[in-house]
Each structure stands twice: as C-alpha cells, then as structure tokens.
C-alpha cells in the first residue's frame, strides 16, 4: 500500500519536501536530547501511519555516513499543537531498514 493506512505504517517511501519540513520542526528537540548540533539534517525516507493525527518514521541523514531514525507525531489541525519528536534511534546507516521502534 502506497499511502498511510489506519493501524499500520505505510511502506517506506522517498522523503518529500513536506517530510523534510516535519523533520526540520523537530531537529532542535533531537539536538537538545543528544546535546549536539547536526549541521546536516536531510530527510531521505519515511513511513507514515494514520492515527488521531499522523505518526511518521523518518530516516534523516546527519553526516555523510551517519543517519538517525526519528518518530514524529503530528496532531490533528484543530488541536493546534506543535509537531513532537516521540522517539529516535542514533548510529544508523544509509541501508538500515526503517522499522517501527
């Protein structure tokens, strides 16, 4: 299935400008948690899940051969809440599968 499905994550897809914008919104949250700055923060792949809002799993390139996997929650528009970093995994590689964590 190409699009998000209720209850499960979509298949991995190439990141879009929209996904990059979502990743950019949680970059400072990750930098604070890791106590480091990421000069590169390029979304390369994502999966999405429809819930009461949207969950995203996003693979983000943070250096030439260094990646992080982030889980982000975007609430429904009427809730007027910021995008939130809910979980992350560091020390990932370009070819590491983007799986639920």
Local confidence pLDDT in tens for the 101 residues of the chain: 344 445 688 899 999 999 999 999 999 999 999 999 999 999 999 999 888 888 999 999 998 889 999 999 999 888 888 899 999 999 999 999 998 88
- What is the residue extent of each domain of the chain? 13-92
User: Global pTM?
Assistant: 0.80
- Domain topology for 13-92: Nuclear Transport Factor 2; Chain: A, (3.10.450)
Structure tokens at 17: 């400008």
Per-residue pLDDT at 2? 46
> What does the DSSP assignment read for 30-76?
HHHHHTS--S--EEEEEEEEEESEEEEEEEEEEETTEEEEEEEEEE-
The reported pLDDT for the residue numbered 77 is 82
């Amino acid at each position: 299935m190409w699009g998000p499905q209720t209850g499960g994550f979509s298949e991995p897809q190439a990141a879009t400008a929209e996904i990059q914008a979502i990743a950019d919104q949680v970059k400072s949250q990750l930098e604070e948690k890791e106590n480091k700055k990421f000069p590169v923060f390029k979304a390369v792949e994502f999966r999405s899940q429809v819930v009461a809002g949207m969950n995203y799993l996003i693979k983000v390139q943070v250096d030439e051969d260094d990646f992080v996997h982030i889980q982000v929650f975007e609430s429904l528009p009427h809730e007027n809440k910021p995008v939130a970093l809910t979980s992350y995994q560091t020390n990932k590689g370009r070819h590491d599968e983007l799986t639920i964590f």
